[in-house]
A and B are shown apart, each in its own frame.
Chain A
Amino acid sequence: MSEADKASYLTEEYVQRLNELGEALKQGDDDEANRLIGELTTLRESALFLELGKLTREIHDSINSFTDDERVVELAQEEIPDAKERLNFIITKTEEAAHKTMTAAERAMDVVDSFVLQANDIQQRWTRFRNRELSKQDFLALSEDLDRFFGSINEESNKVKSEMTDIMMAQDYQDLTGQMIKQVITMVQEVEEKLVRLVAISGANLANRVKPKEDGSTAHGPQLPTADKAEVATSQDDVDDLLASLGF
């Protein structure tokens, strides 16, 4: 029986009894009138109980469907701990890559620094030679150093190249961590959907929730590029302007 049918059926029942009640009152039949009023009350109550029952069943079903949902169990017991592990793995991988890159860059810089030192030294002595200021003995030393320097260029340049290759190879974390981050995002989306359903069931009035106010001493970590521009300094220039306005 549809809702509309049920309603018209109820109305029919009411109308019929109300007519009979009118007739009974006209006739002065108190017993019959009382009986009809009793029946009307029962009818009214049963309609209420029907509604209440329906509501209870809906709530019950919603909660059951939520707790019986195997995905929720899986999410809580497996995927969230899994995601934590993935994120920790990402921290480790990116940290390793950063250190590998810096080590290689530092080594390459050392080679370049030593090149510059040697080249400067040789250049100064060469200038003195061109000005005829160098003794024969000093010139012999210079040509020996030049030989050594030219000889080392190949080997040292290969060292720099190999460090550069290491820096490139250290970026291989991006592929791995990128895939892992995608998996975590998918999981977070699913949890979000489940949470939205839970909020709908509990009927929490989100609009009335007051966010606790915070002061400037709380650390938030990096801001998203989409952060509110009025609240967040988006560049070093913004920071400098703000500090300048404070008399810095």
Chain B
Amino acid sequence: MNKDMKILIVDDFSTMRRIIKNLLRDLGFNNTTEADDGQTALPLLKNGNFDFLVTDWNMPGMDGLTLLKTVRADENLKDMPVLMVTAEAKREQIITAAQAGVNGYIVKPFTAATLKEKIEKIFERIEG
């Protein structure tokens, strides 16, 4: 796993973005950028050479599921690993996200250990 990889954090709450950013920094990932919903995230993704997307689901403008679907439908972005960190915990929703091609799913509230474990698992699968 490349610790210099470029990560985009998408969440409408600045506190949550800050928490994720701090946790990622503790895990050794310092190259992070933030966006507050799918609409602001998309142009960044299209022009930014990002390696990893961490997104919330419930956001104004474009929500995380739509962002995920848009990423999967985009020729240049379709292989990007996507981790969803969200309060959405209905079984139906988790299945929907899985079908849309999410690589990992974390329900809020979550711990630093969970974030670490899921990120490691995602990149183990991709690299292994």
Tell me whether B91 and A232 are in contact (CB under 8 A).
Answer: yes
Kindly supply a per-residue 1/0 record for chain A positions 219-234, scoring 1 wherever the CB is within 8 Å of any chain B CB and 0 otherwise. 1111100010011111
Q: How near does chain A come to B32, taking the closest CB pair, in angstroms?
A: 14
- Is residue A243 contacting chain B, with contact meaning CB distance below 8 A? yes
- Number of A positions contacting B (CB below 8 A): 28
Kindly supply a per-residue 1/0 record for chain B positions 71-97, scoring 1 wherever the CB is within 8 Å of any chain A CB and 0 otherwise. 000000000000000011111111110
Given the known interface contacts A231-B92, A234-B89, the answer about A239 and B98 at a Cβ–Cβ threshold of 8 Å is no
Q: Name the residue on B nearest A228 (C-beta).
A: B90
Tell me whether A236 and B14 are in contact (CB under 8 A).
Answer: no
Across the interface, which residues of B come within 8 angstroms of A238, CB to CB? 89
- Is residue B10 contacting chain A, with contact meaning CB distance below 8 A? no
Tell me whether A243 and B57 are in contact (CB under 8 A).
Answer: no
Separation of A106 and B89 alpha carbons in the complex (Å): 30
- Is residue B7 contacting chain A, with contact meaning CB distance below 8 A? no
- Number of B positions contacting A (CB below 8 A): 28
Across the interface, which residues of A come within 8 angstroms of B57, CB to CB? 219
- Is residue B110 contacting chain A, with contact meaning CB distance below 8 A? yes
Tell me whether A233 and B95 are in contact (CB under 8 A).
Answer: no
Tell me whether A233 and B92 are in contact (CB under 8 A).
Answer: no
Given the known interface contacts A98-B15, A99-B14, A222-B87, the answer about A215 and B92 at a Cβ–Cβ threshold of 8 Å is yes
A219-B57, A221-B58, A233-B91 known; 15 other A-B pairs, CB under 8 Å? A102-B19, A106-B22, A216-B90, A217-B96, A219-B93, A220-B93, A221-B87, A222-B89, A227-B89, A233-B107, A236-B106, A236-B114, A239-B105, A239-B106, A243-B94
- 22 inter-chain pairs at a CB distance below 8 angstroms, sorted by A residue, are A95-B14, A98-B15, A102-B19, A216-B90, A216-B93, A218-B93, A219-B58, A219-B93, A221-B88, A222-B108, A223-B89, A223-B90, A231-B90, A232-B90, A233-B107, A236-B106, A238-B89, A242-B91, A242-B95, A243-B94, A243-B105, A246-B98
7 shortest interchain CB distances as A-B pairs? A216-B96, A216-B92, A219-B58, A222-B87, A98-B15, A233-B89, A216-B93
